[in-house]
């Protein structure tokens, strides 16, 4: 394990774990499972730590960990999403959160309080009173956001250089209520590739097939098609593929207590088989185009 340490503090910012042999340029990332809450943040928040955790993709870092044994790299954030959201652009600033951030953005995520420095956690609960200074916003982005993305960008470059392609599986979890508006059976997993813009069809279809073979019901690009990570790193024409998967939290945890329930072990075993299959995509004659660079 190779953790990156914050030069301004003792806590590691993320955990980057490499296999003994990287099978084929596949990376599993979890940008929203961070749960290291510093005292300075807890003291400024009007919410208790348990409520703050409602924004986490809890336990996703643990669920992707077995992919390393199958030959994939894993990258998991340590910083909580409610401090800095690593699946947003550094410029996605909410003027209701940051002084001088400019006019209200047309982006519905920012308007709803989910910019790079969030205003709210789940169910629209406001994190703090008042606004942050622009200097504090910049400090958080420099301290937490940039190192994670520097590491992710370097991994994508390395995968292309070593294997001719990079396949990033960006793993998230979704509240059960996020699917309440859907008609018909709710999917276990929503697969997002920005409607084909962030990954070649062969990659997205391969991920879909692996999930379906493990018994998961899968929906594509609705209601989650992918956010900043997919948009920033998905360049299938350059053999850089990003597929986002959102897993229904109720399959493995009690959302009220934020604890694994009796279904956790079974789901973890199924996902481990899926992730092992995806880690070997490069060696499976998948027919994906090699990088031109």
pLDDT 10s digits, 79-91: 999 999 999 999 9
> Residue 113's domain is classified under what CATH number?
3.40.630.40
| pLDDT of 2 strictly over 60 | no
Provide the number of structural domains found in the chain. 1
| pLDDT of 52 strictly over 90 | yes
**Average pLDDT, integer, range 266-288:** 82
Query: 124 in a domain, yes or no?
Result: yes
Domain range for residue 191? Answer: 14-237+246-280
Counting beta carbons within 10 angstroms of the beta carbon of residue 202, is it exposed (0 to 12), middle (13 to 18) or buried (19 or more)? middle
pLDDT 10s digits, 184-197: 788 999 999 999 99
Whether a cis peptide bond, with omega within 30° of 0, leads into 223 is yes
- β-pair partners for 73: 27
Residue 111 pLDDT grade (very low, low, confident, very high; cuts 50, 70, 90) = confident
Query: 8 in a domain, yes or no?
Result: no
Residue 289 pLDDT grade (very low, low, confident, very high; cuts 50, 70, 90) = low
Query: 286 in a domain, yes or no?
Result: no
**pTM value?**
0.91
Q: Kindly give the pairing relationship between strand 73-77 and strand 26-30.
A: parallel
Query: 220 in a domain, yes or no?
Result: yes
**Average pLDDT, integer, range 248-257:** 96
Lowest-confidence pick of 102-116, 119-133, 268-282: 102-116
Summary count for the chain: helices (H), strands (E): 9, 10
Query: 290 in a domain, yes or no?
Result: no
**Average pLDDT, integer, range 119-145:** 94
- Which long-range CB contacts under 8 A does 268-274 form with residues at least 24 apart? 268/62, 268/63, 268/66, 270/214, 270/215, 270/216, 271/63, 271/66, 271/214, 271/247, 272/66, 272/67, 273/214, 274/210, 274/211, 274/213, 274/214, 274/216
Query: 152 in a domain, yes or no?
Result: yes
Query: 156 in a domain, yes or no?
Result: yes
- Give the percent of the chain with pLDDT over 90: 80
Query: 69 in a domain, yes or no?
Result: yes
Residue 101 pLDDT grade (very low, low, confident, very high; cuts 50, 70, 90) = confident
């Amino acid at each position: 394990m190779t953790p990156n340490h914050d030069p301004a503090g003792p806590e590691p910012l993320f955990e980057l774990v490499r296999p003994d042999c990287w099978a084929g340029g596949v990376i599993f990332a979890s940008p929203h499972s961070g749960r290291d809450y510093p005292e300075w943040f807890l003291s400024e928040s009007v919410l208790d730590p348990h409520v703050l955790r409602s924004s986490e993709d809890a336990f996703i870092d643990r669920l992707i960990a077995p992919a390393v044994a199958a030959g994939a790299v894993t990258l998991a954030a340590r910083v909580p999403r409610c401090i800095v959201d690593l699946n947003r652009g550094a410029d996605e600033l909410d003027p209701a959160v940051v002084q001088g951030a400019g006019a209200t953005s047309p982006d519905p995520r920012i308007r709803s309080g989910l910019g790079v420095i969030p205003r709210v956690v789940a169910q629209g609960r406001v994190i703090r009173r008042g606004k942050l200074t622009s200097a504090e916003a910049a400090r958080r982005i420099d301290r937490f956001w940039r190192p994670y993305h520097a590491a992710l960008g370097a991994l994508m470059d390395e995968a292309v250089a070593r294997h001719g392609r990079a396949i990033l599986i960006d793993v998230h979890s979704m509240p059960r209520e996020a699917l309440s508006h859907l008609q018909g059976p709710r999917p276990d997993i929503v697969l997002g590739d920005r409607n084909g813009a962030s990954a070649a069809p062969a990659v997205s279809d391969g991920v879909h097939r692996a999930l379906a073979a493990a018994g998961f019901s899968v929906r594509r690009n609705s209601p989650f098609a992918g956010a900043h990570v997919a948009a920033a790193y998905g360049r299938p024409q350059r053999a850089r593929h990003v597929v986002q998967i959102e897993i229904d939290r109720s399959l493995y945890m009690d959302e009220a207590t934020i604890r694994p329930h009796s279904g956790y072990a079974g789901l973890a075993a199924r996902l481990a088989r899926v992730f092992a299959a995806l880690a070997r995509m490069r060696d499976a004659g998948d027919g994906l185009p090699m990088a031109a660079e």
